[in-house]
Amino acid sequence: MIRIGFKPATRLSVAVIAAVILIAGAGVGLAAAQSAGTGAAAAAKNAPAAAKAAPASGNKVSVQRWVRYPASPATLSPQAQLGKQLFFDASLSASGKMSCASCHSPEHAYGPPNGLAVQFGGPDMRRPGTRSVPSLRYLNFTPLFSRHFYTPASEDTEDEGPTGGFMRDGSAASLHEQASMPLLNPNEMANLNAADVVAKLQHGASAENFRKVFGAQIFSQTDQAFVRLGEALEAFQTEDASFHPYTSKFDAAMSGHADFTAAELRGYALFNNPDKGNCAKCHLDTPGPGGRPAQFADFSFIALGVPRNPEIPVNRDPKYFDLGLCGPYRRDLAKETDFCGMFKSPTLRNSATRSVFFHNGRFHNLEDVMHFYVERDTNPGKWYPKRANGKVDKFDDLPPRDRDNVDFADAPMDRKLGGKPALNETEIRDVIAFLQTLNDGYSATAGGSKVQAR
């Protein structure tokens, strides 16, 4: 039986932070508590209390110095330099107009460059996709996909369900496999097969550099050349610091180089409070092994019951459902009906730079996202259409047989119809203020982020 509910304490963000949330007004410093010499499980025992209460005295706490883990090289390897060239090479697409960067814009935290629910591609650049574009930032620590996750070093042996893998459904086993998928997707770069891609590569601007890196005879081995293309893209995304810069205000605050505002502090408290925002349940904000900066993701899968999005053309077919882990694109788990409707929890880093949210792009700003989370169950009529009989068709983007997979157990989605939402308007604004501290490109002298908001 898969648990739908709070993960064991060793995965909670408040475990290591303990009680660093100090709601004491504007200009109060905030930094993560040092975790050296303290076991995660032991620290986690006090997590719920720490999320609700501030330390009794003082307005500064000890600093957690993030480290680059592993450190980004000063100069990209030849393979990564080739990957960078390929990342921006539109000639690898059937249209000759789409590159990786077309959907994963460096100016938008390697996310979509616009607010469209799905991007358009194909041979004529007119074919709509079926899922929103995720960011390519902070993917390098994604674990391999596992159908059954058990918390390491924990006495809890209960199966917590699937974790890890790349793509929204975890179907890619590695960054290089993920990088190669859009090349063959008919709604994206739309090549017919690997040979089609390699032929374009062999006669394109990157051919000479490709031979230098992988050997003069590389194009005589089509399958190997296609794999090497993906590996070059993976090297670029792994080595280039722009894919994992850790330059947000949050990172600066954790290192003692910035102070949160009062609103940001309140938002951080709500983010961690398991009875309020409870964001840290899936979006962990604790340091990782070796001082690795917080990823704001636990790589788990969850069914949230996001409303159906009429902006996606394929949704005009009432029989079509995107079920995430169990189809229609991933087929190896099709019989795992407990997984239907589950999608991987993304990092919240740079979420405030986006203008399209969730796997189906249903929402276009954080305000609506937050209101959906806290009002999904208290006021479902606000989010879902009505059936012919006048009843609200709750979780309308899932077939009725799969709607029990939706998470009801965790705050803020554990409320009853007509009840009080877990967060009020002021609290929602405070949480968003904190989320904005996760945008990369923060400059203390400039007072904010350099990353574009749109």
Domains of the chain, first to last: 1-68+246-454 (1.10.760.10), 78-243 (1.10.760.10)
Helix axes 366-375, 425-436, angle to 10 degrees: 130
Mean pLDDT of 421-430: 99
pLDDT computed for residue 74 by the predictor: 78
Distance of CA 278 to the CA centre of its chain: 16
Determine the Cα–Cα distance for residues 129 and 57; give it in Å rounded to an integer. Answer: 53
The pLDDT of residue 230 is above 80: yes
Averaged pLDDT for residues 262-272: 98
327 DSSP 8-state letter = S
> Residue 256 corresponds to which tokens in the numbers above?
């003692």
31 has pLDDT over 70? no
Better pLDDT: 454 or 70: 70
Q: What is the mean pLDDT of the chain?
A: 85
**What is the torsional sign of CA 329, 330, 336, 339?**
negative
The secondary element (H helix, E strand) that includes residue 302 is: strand 301-302
How many Å apart are CA 175 and CA 65, to the nearest integer?
Answer: 28
Q: Judge whether residue 21 has pLDDT over 90.
A: no
What's the pLDDT tens digit per position in 133-147? 999 999 999 999 998
Is 405 strand, coil or helix? helix
- The pair phi, psi for residue 10, each rounded to 5°, is -70, -10
Q: Is the pLDDT of residue 175 over 60?
A: yes
Which residue would you say has higher pLDDT here, 302 or 446?
A: 302
Whether 109 has a pLDDT exceeding 80, the answer reads yes
Check: CB of residue 451 under 8 Å from CB of residue 109. Answer: yes
Which has more confidence, 208 or 7? 208
pLDDT band at 287 (very low <50, low <70, confident <90, very high): confident
What's the pLDDT band for 290 if we cut at 50, 70, 90? confident
Q: Give the DSSP per-residue string, 84-102.
A: HHHHT-GGGSSSSS--HHH
Strand spans (E) along 101-159: 120-121, 127-128
Lowest mean pLDDT segment, chosen from 222-226, 290-294, 296-300? 290-294
What average pLDDT does the segment 354-376 reach?
99
pLDDT recorded at residue 156: 54
